[in-house]
Structure 1
Amino acid sequence: MIKIYSPASIGNLNVGFDVLGTALAPINGKLLGDCITIQSNQIFKLIIKGNFSFQLPKKIEQNIVWKCWHYFCKIIKKKILVLIILEKNMPIGSGLGSSACSIVSTLVAINKFCNKPLNQNKLIHLMGKIEGEISGEPHYDNVAPCYYGGLQLIIQENNLISQSIPFFKHWLWIIAWPGIKIPTSEARLILPNEYSKHTCIEHSRLLAGFIHALYTNQDHLALKLMKDIIAEPYRIKLIPKFITIKKKMLQLGAINFGISGSGPTIFMICDNKKIAIKITLWLENNYLKNKNGFVHICKIDTQGTRKIGL
């Protein structure tokens, strides 16, 4: 029997649409992600539990875990008879890499169970393919950090998918999911098909400058360049009172603010724990829409997907 945990993640990080992503670890030590347990069985069986199991489709063939198992069996040309237990702890359509959590944990678990017939390249390409079926096209800004951990720069050149890049260890990342969902496919469709030459040049300048700031340890420069001119101007209409909340977060002491992935989760960066706690309390009282919503103070998870105790 094997149990695998995959962490939640933030995609885009404002300045890196589809090319930057980071894994998350709450500072209180709790796990923020999905878990997969796998063991031998006489038939294939899938059991689903967890806080957000109610959001998943009832038909087994529509479940992302079943799809992972199906594709894996197809690739190795063998039907693997196992019992898989999915602990669905991440809300769907939250902007925190929920689908990546399930995909990555499932494929890593099955691959380990079968003595690793797929190498890392084949495995992560399969993860991206299945993720693409949900969002409309393959993208790795959640899959790569979820799998590898850390802050990942998506390169996607032949077999090279991503590389780990430096990050500022003193930054605290506050994430707030209000308890409602925005499908990734819907959030991608709202974006324009074409951008002006000026926007493309400006985006290149911001992204290149941000990466430079990380490698030269210039946190103030990184914060100045950490702007979203690709998605945020169009996606703010999907998040009620976005501008008002952004102003409030900055007034309370956040040093950066943005939409996590496709939203509606928002993220704030702080370099002071007392300010982070103050912001957390405000969000709990003003941003959450129902009892399912949550706020966490996090650091970057450097471990990524891993085996944990049963």
Structure 2
Amino acid sequence: MELETEKEPAEKAGKEREQVRVFAPATAANLVCGFDILGLALEQPGDEVMMKRSDKSGVRLLKITGDDGRLPLDPAKNTVSACVQMLLKHLGREDIGVEIALHKQMPIGSGLGSSAASTVAGLYAINLLLGEPLSKHELLPFAMRGEELACGHGHADNVAPSLFGGITLIKSYEPLDVIQLPIPKDLYCSVVFPHVDVPTRAARQMIRSKIDLKDAVIQWGNIAGLVSGFFMNDHALIGRSMKDVLIEPTRAILIPEFYEMREQAMVSGALGFGISGSGPSVFAFASSKQTALNITNNIVQHLQSKGIDSNGYVSAINEQGPREL
């Protein structure tokens, strides 16, 4: 994928900084029926990046915590440092030295946009360090390159909401066109990450390459209904639009107790329920924080009764995206 952002001269930047600390949020992508085009940012969890200037030129990734040693420290292979290198090259600032520490505060391979949160935190941090020469929209293609490095597919349904906050719609990829949707009042997310392994690449490979027209029509109607529900602040419409006849039936096979978790969510008051990203995390919308808490607790307890550990979260929709700490 070519970077579509026009080069911005570094002299347009404001005051440069010596060090910054940034948090970027986790995301729930697809929102059940919007495969690769819909996503939202969560208040929690997320990742942190600490970045500071160095007298020695080049980008160095000094430390990663919270990853159990699974992520590479090689600056060219880690999405955070690799995207920082791309941005510095783009701006003609490869002469400067940058040291990075990445603190993973969310599970890897969870379906919650782990790589996206790290990448966005790194890009937001280097942009602050340089005096913000680029807008968030100009940072997005670099974040998509990070997704390509992480999972082989440069999609934006995780990085866009993590970068912009709120709920995002990817109207098109060629050309890249991202739309921020309104956030309905009193809409909360219940999120549960079961401790089972569902690799993103494997989950994508299971997706059907051909679909029936009747299924496509159903899916288009659900996507339109979901987007309309966001605009109309209509929780009932949001709930009845959260149905996926194309991707979920296949991916659900990879997630133990998926349909049982759905049942737990719906009887606990969920508006709708589905897989977050490629899984194994699942999420539900609720009309109150207490209902979201009940959904999360009931699913976690159900998984525990089946011998499956999990992480549970309750979150409002994050309207800000990344923030400096």
TM-score norm. by structure 2 comes to: 0.86
In structure 2, the partner of 1:48 is 63
Residue-by-residue CA offset, 1:35-82 (whole Å, 9 max, x unaligned)? 111111133432334333533135443222221122223323332311
Identify the match of residue 23 of structure 1 among 41, 45, 56. Answer: 41
Structure 1 gap ranges (5+): 27-31
Map Cα deviations across residues 227-248 of structure 1 (whole Å, 9 max, x no partner): 1122101101110121122122
Q: Is the counterpart of residue 8 in structure 1 residue 16 in structure 2?
A: no
Q: Distance in 2 between matches of 1:205 and 1:117?
A: 41
Residue type of the partner of 1:221?
Answer: L
Task: Confirm or deny that 1:280 pairs with 2:293.
Answer: no
Aligned-partner Cα distance in 1 for 2:237–2:176 = 28
**3-state SS, counterpart of residue 153 of structure 1:** strand
2:235 corresponds in structure 1 to 219
Q: Name the stretch that deviates more: 296-305 or 70-79.
A: 70-79
Return the letter of the residue paired with 1:39.
K
1:173 aligns with 2:189: yes
Give matches, 1:148-163, under 5 Å.
148-156=164-172, 160-163=176-179
Q: Deviations over 1:81-111 (max 9, x none)?
A: 1111111112111010101101111111112
Q: Which residue number corresponds to residue 320 of structure 2?
A: 303
1:157 CA drift (Å): 5.7
State the identity as a percent. Answer: 32
Q: Distance in 2 between matches of 1:119 and 1:151?
A: 18
The equivalent residue for 1:164 is 180
- Number of residue-to-residue matches in the alignment: 302
The aligned residue for residue 129 of structure 1 is 145
Higher mean displacement: 209-218 or 140-149 = 209-218
In the aligned structure 2, how far is the partner of 1:295 from the partner of 1:5?
Answer: 20
2:210 aligned counterpart, secondary structure: coil
Deviation of the 1:214 alpha carbon: 2.2
Instruction: Return the offset for 1:160.
Output: 4.9
Partner of 1:36: 49
SS class of match (1:55): coil
Which residue identity is paired with 1:16?
Answer: G
- RMSD after superposition: 2.1
* Match 1:100 to one of 116, 133, 136: 116
Cα separation, 1, equivalents of 2:132 and 2:288: 43
* Contact kept in structure 1, 2:136 and 2:164, CA below 8 Å: no
State the alpha-carbon separation in 1 of the partners of residues 290 and 93 from structure 2.
Answer: 54
Task: Tell me, in whole angstroms, the C-alpha distance in 1 between the residues paired with 2:288 and 2:131.
Answer: 44
Structure 2 counterpart SS, 1:22: strand
Q: Deviations over 1:211-240 (max 9, x none)?
A: 222222322122111111221011011101
For residues 198 and 147 of structure 1, do their structure 2 counterparts lie closer, same or farther at Cα, with a shift above 3 Å needed?
Answer: same
3-state SS of the aligned residue for 1:287?
helix
Which 5+ residue runs of structure 2 have no aligned equivalent? Answer: 1-18
Deviations 1:97-135 (A, max 9, x none): 101101111111112212334443331111112212323
State how far apart, in whole Å, the 2-side matches of 1:180 and 1:150 are: 28
Structure number with greater CO (CA < 8 Å, separation at least 6) is 1
Q: Distance in 2 between matches of 1:102 and 1:158?
A: 25
TM-score (norm 1): 0.90
